[in-house]
Amino acid sequence: MSKKAVSQSELENWVDSVIQGHKTYGVKSKQDKYDYGILENASQLKLDYDVTIRSPKFLFLPAVESIASFNRENAKYESEIENEAFVVFGVHPYDVVAINQMDTIFSQPNRDEHYMTRRNNATIVAVDVQTPSEDVFAGYMGTATVEEGFDVLVTRIGDDAYLIDAATEKGEKLIASLSGANDADDSDIQSRADVWEENKNKLRRHELEVEPSEWPELLKKSVESPLWEEKSEKCFSCGSCNLVCPTCYCFDVQEDVNWDMKSGKRVRTWDGCMLTNFATVAGPHNFRADKAERYRHRYYRKGAYVPEKIDGEIACIGCGRCINACVAKIANPVEVMNRLAEEK
């Protein structure tokens, strides 16, 4: 696979050429923050951003989507699957890890065609972090850098120098317009290795004292911890921590009939285990009616249930979005895990 060393202007020309030929998302400014949006030209693309408001999951699992249509009159029921190729520029390594985790979950039996179709249609251009965000702790989670799950990786290796690395066939095609650019040499590759080393230490804004691999065991011992009650007293049950999380994938499904009272659609929307009625079933019985139970569940889901499901992988990539999104300031996984470790 090709590795190219390019200048800022070569990079921008490449991005512009991609935009010309593809539906392209990228990280753009949104007031004084950053979010993914449709890219119209390369100058809109921000590669030195700290963190995006939304994680890229919405590109594969939209917040609201119609997944099927029905018509009672002719008993017709059809899945609706969005099937359009697109490119996304600027995904940080920790978010790539989250996407990889979603891929594993959604491709398991009962494979989710809606998610997987979008995912297979995507070409992901990852970008190594240049500016660590205020709450990032990816350095502790092993997600400050990433080795797979992207098609192209862009790393800033100097003031006017980037290394562009195609990791897949898709990526190779995407950088075809760079064929005239210089191939990266050993010193460029070394510069990138230096960036990686540096990022592993730089992306540590909250000091995690418990290795991610120890989370499942620690949680198993902490079911009765007073922490759950204590923290959840301040919880608004607003679900913000769930909804901004790149590894939260829960959704709710509802039907809506059209005005003709015959046809309609089936819609799925993001849901979250911190929301009051998330665990409500027929009856109506709520399995987790208590705030503290819901609060605890979120951590068990991140640090015990998902790892059980997918080979020890923790469902937290250390992006810190939950820490920032929680107005009550009770959603910091680092604080929770450190405190549980202290109690033991």
Partner 1 sequence: MSKPRVAIFDFACCEGCQLQIVDMEEEIIDLLSVINPVEWREAMSEQSEQFDISIIEGSITRVEDEERLRSIREKSKVLVALGACAVTGGVNKLKNNFDLDDVKQFVYKDDAKMPHLNTSKTKAVCEVVKVDYNVPGCPIDVDEFAYIVRCLAIGKEPDLPTYSVCVECKKKGNICRFEYGELCLGPITLAGCGAKCPTESAACFGCRGWVEDPNVNAAKDVLEEYGLTVDDLKSKMKLFGSQQENTI
Residues in contact with partner 1 by the rule CB under 8 A: 30-31, 33, 35, 53-54, 58, 63-64, 233-240, 243-244, 254, 256-261, 269-270, 272, 275-277, 291, 325, 327-329
- Minimum Å gap between C-beta 4 and partner 1 is 32
- Minimum Å gap between C-beta 329 and partner 1 is 6
The C-alpha atoms of residue 182 and residue 159 are separated, in whole angstroms, by 17
Q: Which residues contact 21 (CB under 8 A, 6 or more apart)?
A: none
First-residue to last-residue Cα distance in the chain: 49
Q: Which is nearer to partner 1, 180 or 259 (CB)?
A: 259
The C-alpha atoms of residue 145 and residue 141 are separated, in whole angstroms, by 10
Report in angstroms the alpha-carbon separations of 316 from 19, 231, 265.
32, 19, 33
- Minimum Å gap between C-beta 52 and partner 1 is 8
- Minimum Å gap between C-beta 106 and partner 1 is 19
The C-alpha atoms of residue 99 and residue 240 are separated, in whole angstroms, by 19
Phi and psi dihedrals of 252, rounded to 5? Answer: -115, 150
- Minimum Å gap between C-beta 240 and partner 1 is 5
SS3 state at 82: coil
Q: Which is nearer to partner 1, 111 or 285 (CB)?
A: 285
Residue 282 CB neighbour total at 10 angstroms: 5
The C-alpha atoms of residue 312 and residue 129 are separated, in whole angstroms, by 25
Q: Which is nearer to partner 1, 127 or 244 (CB)?
A: 244
The C-alpha atoms of residue 7 and residue 71 are separated, in whole angstroms, by 55
Q: Which is nearer to partner 1, 67 or 328 (CB)?
A: 328
The C-alpha atoms of residue 123 and residue 144 are separated, in whole angstroms, by 21
- Minimum Å gap between C-beta 292 and partner 1 is 13
Q: Which is nearer to partner 1, 88 or 184 (CB)?
A: 88
Look at residues 321, 249, 310, 273 and name the one whose alpha carbon lies nearest to residue 94.
321
Q: Which is nearer to partner 1, 22 or 54 (CB)?
A: 54
Q: Which is nearer to partner 1, 138 or 248 (CB)?
A: 248
Q: Which is nearer to partner 1, 153 or 244 (CB)?
A: 244
For residues 128 and 145, is the Cβ–Cβ distance under 8 A? yes
Q: Which two tokens stand for residue 288?
A: 């987790």
- Minimum Å gap between C-beta 262 and partner 1 is 10
The C-alpha atoms of residue 150 and residue 96 are separated, in whole angstroms, by 7
Phi and psi dihedrals of 211, rounded to 5? Answer: -55, 135
- Minimum Å gap between C-beta 26 and partner 1 is 14
